[in-house]
Chains A and B, each alone.
Chain A
Amino acid sequence: MSSGTIEIRGFLQLDAFIRKRYKCMPLILEIDAPISGIDLAKQLEIPLDEVEVIFINGFVHETGAMIHPGDRMAFLPPGCPGPYRIALGFYGKNQDSEANFKIKPKTDGEEDLS
């Protein structure tokens, strides 16, 4: 199995996270074997509940999809607005993601916002 580099981007808050921690964007990382999006997130210390889907070479994938040397990938947190989460196919790929539409439970004494 050949080794090589991958090109990593993060969007929304993960953009600032990668820039701050790795001082660059995109992050170029050497890998010696294919790696899943989940394992890559763990390696980079990106919380899994901050990744709804990943992009690999411009295609949307579930977080467990494999990234190969030479690939361009990006982590996308929940928060893409509009109908684009459906139009771009996130909806079909995020069902097993830890970040799949987390609705925060209401806490006691919360302000009435109505």
Chain B
Amino acid sequence: MEQFIRVDMTTQQVTSGPLPEKYVGLGGRALTSNFVNDEVKPTCHALGKNNKLIFAPGLLSGTSAPNSGRLSVGAKSPLTGTIKECNTGGLFSQKMAKMGIKAFVVEGKPADDKFYIIKIDMNGVSIEEAPESILGGCGNYEAIQILNEKYGAKVGIALAGPAGEHRLPSANISFKDPESNIRSAGRGGLGAVMGSKNVKAIIIDDAGAKPVPVADPEKFRAAAKIFARALLDHPVAGQGLAAYGTDVLVNILNEAGGLPAHNFTAGRIDYNDNFSGETMNALITERGGDGKVSHGCHPGCIIRCSQWYPDKKGKYITSGFEYETVWGLGADAGIKDFDAIAYIDRAMDDVGVDSIEIAVAVATAMEGGLIPWGDGEGVLQIVKDMAKPTPLARIIAGGCAIVGKLCGLYRVPVVKDQAIPAYDPRAVKGIGLTYATTPMGADHTAGYCISGNILKVGADIDPLKKDGQIEYARAMQIGTAAVDSTGMCLFVYFGIADNPGGYQALIDMINAQYGLELTAEDVDKLGESVLKVERDFNKRAGFTNAHDRLPEFMEYEPIEPHNVVWDFTPEEIDEVYNF
């Protein structure tokens, strides 16, 4: 039976029942966003009792489909005030799916100030007080070790880190990965929502669970094989990500003049070699020890874009060392030392904050005079202080919009109060339209995945011109919303964009698992429906088209080297959601 579990933290009551009829056929983002739109009061305070936090595996999670171990987490965001879906790797999604749990909801708010652990296993759900040892500033790395010892090394763990306990707006939810390191449902402050419900950790133990049922195993196996081949044959998986990680984008965006630098005042730097993907590869190889050039964030990942970055002696510092984090601290905040960036990344994982929001907030704070430009040691201390938190740490963890206001700045790179990531909209205009219009606030992963029909448009795209960009941003967001609902990593995009057989194989796997006859058009319709649901929530929360705008400074401050501004009119931007 497909279970739908609710934990009411006000009463500590657990209810478990079948998946409501209206959610049958939905998974991942489609399920979390429909649920939030149905049950969360759009005008509620995100940290109050009326917000609800929902975890849902994707439609294909728990199966043998490659790269299908992604989890969606949804709620109203305390950072943006909009609906939010965050997506993460780790162990949670596959374990939930194997246990037949389609969704797990945390609602209400305890009257006391104790923190709790929710444990889910095949016998049901239990709630117990969190041990003191993982509270009061204990970092996520140590907390995972303590919980592994208590509950067993194979359990899945979701944590509200110290930042989540303090309900800081950039707090993420941290997830244990296969080696007990950390993956994150990063953006929008959902760790603060978890902390506001006094839930310190959720433990999931799938011991005794049976394999996920598949309606037509033979058809599924055949489709999965084609899908895996489409991914592995692609140069991005074979040559790009596995060797250089997402950090390969440093040099590419820098060359294209779209690498925002010095708080979005330039599009290119001359010290990109310090922390490029190519440099990362060379350093990891040279240092050896714990270092791994390639690593998967969840079992069944065959793209393996993650890595273990070691120190000079070969000792592990951090993993999942992403382009956006390196860009934010390196180019935008001017921290030129790669190891310094790595230690800050580790500290952000340890305290449990969104590394994009913090990096952009740091750069804004540097412009505002709160931190010296390029001060890696200072930033590391501030991030560590988020566990206490000190007043300055609170300010930075409040996010870029808050920092900008406190510093009296007009150059504040946010949309709907969420920091703009690593691709300057003036020089990469299609991404800019997604930043402006996605229901999530500025989010590069909201426009990441497409269906085949965009390739006709893609052939005409010039990043510095408007032509085709509206269609591009629309198709990207629709495709992404659909893939986010499958439990697939968005990086499967490569295989399904360039190899039509790969896209069909993805649909065939869903059909084989559930005994359906979905077409590509049905999948597109699913993506459209998810976006409409999310827009509906935001509209009822008070958001209008006027919120779908980039910060004004981008309209009158040209960015070098191409000397371009953001020049889409409001009417043109609004066309993105004309479907």
What residues of chain A have their CB less than 8 Å away from a CB belonging to chain B?
A: 9, 11-13, 15-16, 25, 55, 57-58, 60, 74, 76-84, 86-89, 91-92, 95, 99, 101-104, 106, 112-114
A95 cross-chain contacts in B, Cβ below 8 A? 459
The verdict on B449 contacting chain A, using a C-beta distance below 8 Å, is yes
B221 cross-chain contacts in A, Cβ below 8 A? 114
* Count, chain B residues at interface, CB 8 A: 68
B236 cross-chain contacts in A, Cβ below 8 A? 78-81
Nearest-neighbor residue (CB-CB) of B281 within chain A: A16
A102 cross-chain contacts in B, Cβ below 8 A? 235
How many Å lie between the Cα of A9 and that of B230 in the bound state?
30
Nearest-neighbor residue (CB-CB) of B268 within chain A: A58
B253 cross-chain contacts in A, Cβ below 8 A? 84
Nearest-neighbor residue (CB-CB) of B430 within chain A: A87
Q: A83-B431, A87-B428 are in contact. List 4 more A-B contacts (CB 8 A).
A: A12-B244, A58-B562, A83-B493, A114-B224
B50 cross-chain contacts in A, Cβ below 8 A? none
A79 touches B461 (CB 8 A): no
Mask, B216-229, CB within 8 Å of A = 1, is 00000110110111
B523 cross-chain contacts in A, Cβ below 8 A? none
How many Å lie between the Cα of A41 and that of B50 in the bound state?
62
A99 cross-chain contacts in B, Cβ below 8 A? 235
B256 touches A80 (CB 8 A): no
A79 touches B258 (CB 8 A): no
How many Å lie between the Cα of A11 and that of B404 in the bound state?
35
Would you give the shortest CB distance from A25 to chain B, in whole angstroms?
Answer: 7
The verdict on B58 contacting chain A, using a C-beta distance below 8 Å, is no
Would you give the shortest CB distance from A105 to chain B, in whole angstroms?
Answer: 9
A101 cross-chain contacts in B, Cβ below 8 A? 234-235, 498-499
B461 touches A83 (CB 8 A): no
A113 and B228 contact, Cβ closer than 8 Å, known pairs A81-B491, A86-B472, A91-B458: yes
Mask, B421-450, CB within 8 Å of A = 1, is 001000010110000000000001001111
B462 cross-chain contacts in A, Cβ below 8 A? 89, 92
A114 touches B66 (CB 8 A): yes
Would you give the shortest CB distance from B221 to chain A, in whole angstroms?
Answer: 5
A83 cross-chain contacts in B, Cβ below 8 A? 430-431, 447-450, 476, 493
30 A–B contact pairs at CB < 8 A?
A9-B255, A12-B248, A12-B278, A15-B251, A16-B278, A16-B281, A58-B561, A74-B255, A76-B252, A78-B235, A79-B235, A80-B252, A81-B248, A81-B491, A82-B444, A83-B447, A83-B448, A84-B249, A84-B428, A86-B472, A86-B497, A87-B423, A89-B462, A91-B459, A101-B499, A102-B235, A103-B234, A103-B499, A106-B229, A112-B225
B252 cross-chain contacts in A, Cβ below 8 A? 11, 76, 80, 84, 88
The verdict on B288 contacting chain A, using a C-beta distance below 8 Å, is no
A82 and B448 contact, Cβ closer than 8 Å, known pairs A12-B248, A92-B461: yes
How many Å lie between the Cα of A43 and that of B545 in the bound state?
53
A80 and B249 contact, Cβ closer than 8 Å, known pairs A87-B463, A114-B224: yes
The verdict on B246 contacting chain A, using a C-beta distance below 8 Å, is yes
How many Å lie between the Cα of A9 and that of B278 in the bound state?
12
The verdict on B39 contacting chain A, using a C-beta distance below 8 Å, is no
A89 and B463 contact, Cβ closer than 8 Å, known pairs A12-B278, A81-B246: yes
A104 touches B248 (CB 8 A): no
Would you give the shortest CB distance from B474 to chain A, in whole angstroms?
Answer: 13
The verdict on B320 contacting chain A, using a C-beta distance below 8 Å, is no
A82 cross-chain contacts in B, Cβ below 8 A? 246, 249, 444, 448, 491, 493
How many Å lie between the Cα of A91 and that of B278 in the bound state?
23
Could you say which of A9, A86, A113, A114 contacts B458, with CB atoms under 8 Å apart?
A86
B278 cross-chain contacts in A, Cβ below 8 A? 11-12, 15-16
Would you give the shortest CB distance from B542 to chain A, in whole angstroms?
Answer: 30
B229 touches A79 (CB 8 A): no
B252, B448, B462: residue with the most chain A Cβ atoms closer than 10 Å: B252
Nearest-neighbor residue (CB-CB) of A105 within chain B: B233
B273 touches A25 (CB 8 A): yes
Could you say which of A88, A92, A103, A113 contacts B66, with CB atoms under 8 Å apart?
A113
B449 cross-chain contacts in A, Cβ below 8 A? 83
B239 touches A114 (CB 8 A): no
B458 cross-chain contacts in A, Cβ below 8 A? 86, 91-92
Could you say which of A13, A55, A57, A103 contacts B239, with CB atoms under 8 Å apart?
A13
- Of residues 358 through 379 on chain B, the ones whose CB sits less than 8 Å from some CB of chain A are none
Nearest-neighbor residue (CB-CB) of B432 within chain A: A87
